[in-house]
Amino acid sequence: MQHLAIFPILLPMLAAVFMLLPPLSNSITRQRIFAVSIMLLLVTVSALLLLTSHQQGTQLYILGGWQPPFGITLVGDRLSTMMVLLTSVLGLCAQLYACAGEDKDGMYFHPLFMFQIMGVNGAFLTGDIFNLFVFFEVLLIASYALLIHGGGKQKTKMNVHYVILNLVGSSIFLFALGILYGTIGSLNIADMANKIRFLDEHEQALAKAGGLLLLVVFGLKAALLPLHFWLPKTYAAASAPVAALFAIMTKVGVYSILRVHTTIFGEDAGALASIAIPWLWPLALLTLTMGAIGVLASPSLRLTAANLVIVSVGTLMLAIAMQRESATSAALYYMMHTTLVTGALFLIADLISKQRGKAEDRYVIARKMRYGKFIGIAFFIAALTSVGMPPLSGFVGKILILQATQGLAETAWVWAVVLLAGLASMVAISRAGTTIFWRAAGENTNNEKISPLKIIAVVLLLSASPLLVVFGGAVTDYTNLAAAQLHNSVPTVTALLPGGNE
């Protein structure tokens, strides 16, 4: 059990390596069986890690015996283990969908998929910012190849933009790391949180610059305005299982902002406390607004789903900007909901596209779909969930966030923008449903069947929403504890440094 924290990184890494070698590399069937087995094992390990960290306290894994703050440290607390489990569940569903045939469009899909999972899990579990940069690069390199998987002019164009932007972001990340290491003398998150309040005036100015540069980098990863413009067409161009997996990518950026600017630059940072908050408030409101406009302007379901990702980022950033335990708890609940339902929407958009022929998922009149009933029911559930209609998890998540605004000066702004964005999403999704399912002309001549694996993947993702409501009490209890652990940084930081006890 002492090695449990490294398994979410080690399992996908070793799986990717094995799938590049015979006999797995010689057979797509063997790769599929092996990949799905690994993902099922990863979900089990992630759930076990979450239960262990919840019941026994933060799991600290020190590689090579080098004690923090000098060595590589993995930290499995309630927040990071929750995100790892979320990634594993989403990854399993995307993998199942890909095994129905999407993985044959290009080479090395399953190894690249595993490297992507490894990078995302590593970013959530790492205990220092330098290794956060390393895992960012791992997941980005894998995402470059996955985005262009299957080829095509549109994918190539979007991939070039995506690569260039992220290379710029990585350069800024390195500058920020250099500044912070030069001023604080450490890149271990707990050690930085312990030392930052003791900086002198000149060092504070440099550390503030480094912290705000990190906000820019994480804002790019999270698609925070004005760094959001790359996301809609990039996600829409990706194949369905890749786009579904990418639903967790923006959450890596959101998580990084939450972790760094709550633990290091949080309330206990002295003169550098909450340096990101004056920037987060207007950017979050504008991101949510632009996401809602993008949803209304989207000509296809894929673009609608991609812009709903931006809406979710704006909503999460509003909760983070409140700097309250209740708001952070609400954000964690909402993050689970929006990641899974957005992944489902990308898969449903692909099912629609395959059924409608040349019309694909665009909002135009087309022939009837052969499996219109199943796809229509799936779309209806996803639509209700994504726009925040009761009694599903989207409604609960938004209510929790709105309740957390009580007593804030910005309460009126938050309520107005969140509710108007929900209205815009409802209008856009209603237009999508009526156009795709009701405005049909002619009989369907498409004989392509829907693979049972695709049905299973969509059903699993959609079932998350009612389950989050049915078990809402237990889930919110957990998110409350995770938020309290994150905000109460002094005992947390002490426990992660030599000689500390949880």
Q: What is the pLDDT of residues 393-420, one digit of tens each?
A: 999 999 999 999 988 888 888 899 999 9
**49: burial class by Cβ within 10 Å (0-12, 13-18, 19+)?**
buried
pLDDT at 256: 94
Q: What is the CA radius of gyration of the chain?
A: 22
Reported as a pLDDT band with limits 50, 70 and 90, residue 178 is very high
Q: pLDDT digit string (tens) for 235-269?
A: 988 899 999 999 999 999 999 999 999 989 988 88
The sign one gets for the Cα dihedral 117, 159, 247, 225 is: positive
Reported as a pLDDT band with limits 50, 70 and 90, residue 462 is very high
- E-state strands within 77-151: none
Interval 431-458 mean pLDDT: 82
pLDDT of residue 500 exceeding 60: no
188 forms beta bridges with 128
pLDDT at 373: 86
Residue 283 tokens read as 């950017």
Q: CA angle, 349 as apex, 445 and 96 as ends, to 5°?
A: 100
Going by C-alpha positions, the residue among 244, 423, 428, 421 that lies closest to residue 345 is: 244
pTM score, two decimals?
0.94
